[in-house]
Structure 1
């Protein structure tokens, strides 16, 4: 007879471990299945995000930015620093220590909440039965009496023309652990991962070339924000080639030779390392048994309704393995929603107010609709923007590039979207997320007192600008 739990969560990433903790808080006897092991064979919770994604990349971005500032910005503050160097091994070690602390913290939370961590690869068989294959290949079955939450996560997409070998041609995981700064780094893909990892190694001295097949830069972002970002990255030294379709990549004499096509025809480039960052795909191969109603669609995503319920009652799927943006915070909130619905509560995720962030320097963050989306939907809107160049705190920080832009409905004044590129954008965006969550008008934000001097005053000014009332910039003349 299989061991029983109230709720079984399959996957211990930011969707799965959060779902398990919330289920335990709601009084369910909970188990979480996770198979992750590091290179040393140590079992770890946290999934891609904590182990080889969100957290380690941000640790490296912080270190690399400090090094870059020490070389290029301290002099403007009257600080002299000569012969500044960076110890890449120490930088990587610090990153690993942060990962150890946070993944270990999740294990402690599991223990404190009475959650059993079942170590191995989970497979859903149907009828709320989960099969687990341990690392020694022993197979066991576990039964859930209330519900199952599937959080299988995602994997990097491998492209045939640039097969990853783990040494010269790598995924983002490999780019987190370079032993030394590659003199020439090639990046396939100008998305979030490609830009963040390219920024890390460019800041510590690598010559970075980004090859993007699409003709437009950041096509999923607001065009005004994307244009500002492209201009800034070019100024920083990132060589971003748009409309560059890679046709082949191979290792010759210790370097990677990349062939690609652009508007000028066949081109080639030589790199010491090549990062393949063309996106991720749902990790749903061989995760279901034959006796389940759960359906995997053509693109590999598990089919769910608006509350992440699958076709099988009491079985939910969340995070990267279902529709919607592949974001850790989206997965976490879906995990909470699924656990609360199993407890008879009104779990809910508002998908139109999920923020997106790119943690480059400067940071980019947005929520809601872009101007292009509003135009396509024929929505009558007004906008207000404000440059950080006119913000005292940004000037004092030597970070006066970028802007805040707010979009509001022309009739009701409800905020429909917000876009920020500049210092601390990832933190600042949340004021506007809260406002949108409460269906606030831009006037509501405009009438809130913002402390001076702060970066957040730029949000205040952008909201004022919608009605032509910005104080610290010249407002366009009304037509």
Structure 2
């Protein structure tokens, strides 16, 4: 049994874990990182990156299919396209592989020792790692838990056969003729819309009265319109009940309480993610929990001295960039720097068609927080750049205090608005007021002008609407 010692041990090499380890290494901290799978975690291997690759491929295929229908206003005419999904998946896997190698290289450059295997706590300072060559014991002064999350499995729809999670959906060898999506959140709609563009007949089953409940109804309206254009059937107030005997249909209960079937060759279950807190021996160290998550303070410290936790295992929002920010902060704390965690400006992006971005407070949250507010909303239908890219459907909205014009929240829906997330986050982080955004010269023609115009609208003098 091999034994090593280090100052910092990071368990999990997802976005939070590997960023924490790299930053710690840069600061001269003797660091070891343990990962059972490939570096990059769910985000890189079976989440953020591969899903965006598939979404892009679907978008390109959908555009060509639309042109082939003879209805394209640009005057482009092409023949009916075909899709070799196996080749698409191979391209996606190539991107993931390159990024895997990149993360491994960055860890090596920062002089971080990587141990591949499954870590289990002995106590708060010691873990055992089952590796291919035997058991490795690691003693550490400080431990960071960055074990991430996994798809929630429904007991009446266990994964296997026709029932798949997002992980399997990203590795299919062919586009299913009919796809049922259980859950109308961002993962379900992102993948559902992608498969619809690739030719699948998609049905979304959502138990709640509307989809994308983390965003307000006005923001999601353009997405609902696009779902209709793609022929996606959205069943609201409908509960999934199980798989048919033949395995070719999803059994559901309608809003009226009637039993029905949704025929589908594949059933994609996307009802959320759960923190990975089991199998790591956490019962050996008795951490305080916040429900199913590990409880942390504003420095990501747990209830045990010398143990930190970051990322999905610590709760919502389960976003890679949140985990990265936490990981960087924890590394600097371990190195002796003074840092704390402020989550007021974490943009959330939904890569549907059109895309959604939200940062800071919604109008309802802003009213509850500040009382009287000002709202400025600018439609992309009045934006030259959006019109030239056929992206008129959507808008930018700015929410600010009425008394001092401090910006409290920014939201947008539209083609490519994910790239505006950085500007939104920066404005909130820097404490911008409406006058700051309105007075900043935005390049023309660009969709970013919609941000400036929304601020001008809130001030009462929008120029282009």
State whether TM-score is above 0.5: yes
CA shift at 1:227, angstroms? 2.8
Match of 2:140 among 139, 144, 162: 144
Per-residue Cα deviation, 1:242-273 (whole angstroms, up to 9, x for no partner): 11111122351x62332233236322211010
Per-residue Cα deviation, 1:192-218 (whole angstroms, up to 9, x for no partner): 110111011011100111101111322
For 2:331 and 2:226, the matched residues in 1 are separated by 43
Contact 1:248-1:260 at 8 Å conserved across structures: no
Superposed counterparts of 1:192-341, under 5 Å: 192-250=186-244, 252=246, 255-263=248-256, 265-289=258-282, 291-299=284-292, 301-341=293-333
Match of 1:353 among 345, 360, 385: 345
- When residues 337 and 250 of structure 1 are mapped into structure 2, their CA distance, relative to the original with a 3 A threshold, is farther
- 1:379 maps to 2:375: no
- Name the SS of the counterpart of 2:271 in structure 1: coil
**Which residue of the partner structure matches residue 178 of structure 1?**
172
Unaligned runs of 5+ in 2: none
- Name the SS of the counterpart of 2:253 in structure 1: strand
TM-score normalised by structure 1 residue count = 0.93
TM-score normalised by structure 2 residue count = 0.96
For 1:378 and 1:385, the matched residues in 2 are separated by 19
Per-residue Cα deviation, 1:87-135 (whole angstroms, up to 9, x for no partner): 1111111101001000111111111111111011112333321221224
For 2:126 and 2:362, the matched residues in 1 are separated by 43
For 2:290 and 2:122, the matched residues in 1 are separated by 17
- When residues 80 and 227 of structure 1 are mapped into structure 2, their CA distance, relative to the original with a 3 A threshold, is closer
**Which residue of the partner structure matches residue 12 of structure 1?**
13
CA shift at 1:406, angstroms? 0.5
**C-alpha RMSD over aligned residues:** 1.6
For 1:434 and 1:298, the matched residues in 2 are separated by 32
For 2:231 and 2:347, the matched residues in 1 are separated by 28
**Which residue of the partner structure matches residue 126 of structure 1?**
123
**Which residue of the partner structure matches residue 150 of structure 2?**
155
CA shift at 1:303, angstroms? 1.4
- Name the SS of the counterpart of 2:344 in structure 1: helix
CA shift at 1:73, angstroms? 4.9
For 1:242 and 1:418, the matched residues in 2 are separated by 28
CA shift at 1:223, angstroms? 2.7
For 2:144 and 2:199, the matched residues in 1 are separated by 44
For 2:210 and 2:178, the matched residues in 1 are separated by 24
CA shift at 1:187, angstroms? 0.3
**Which residue of the partner structure matches residue 115 of structure 1?**
112
**Which residue of the partner structure matches residue 33 of structure 2?**
32
- When residues 10 and 26 of structure 1 are mapped into structure 2, their CA distance, relative to the original with a 3 A threshold, is same
Moved more, 402-411 or 76-85: 76-85
Contact 2:180-2:250 at 8 Å conserved across structures: no
Per-residue Cα deviation, 1:419-477 (whole angstroms, up to 9, x for no partner): 1100221111221211110111011100111111111111111110001111111xxxx
CA shift at 1:308, angstroms? 0.8
Equivalent residues, number: 461
CA shift at 1:291, angstroms? 4.7
**Which residue of the partner structure matches residue 370 of structure 1?**
362
Contact 2:124-2:307 at 8 Å conserved across structures: no
Stretches of 4+ aligned residues off by more than 6 angstroms:
none
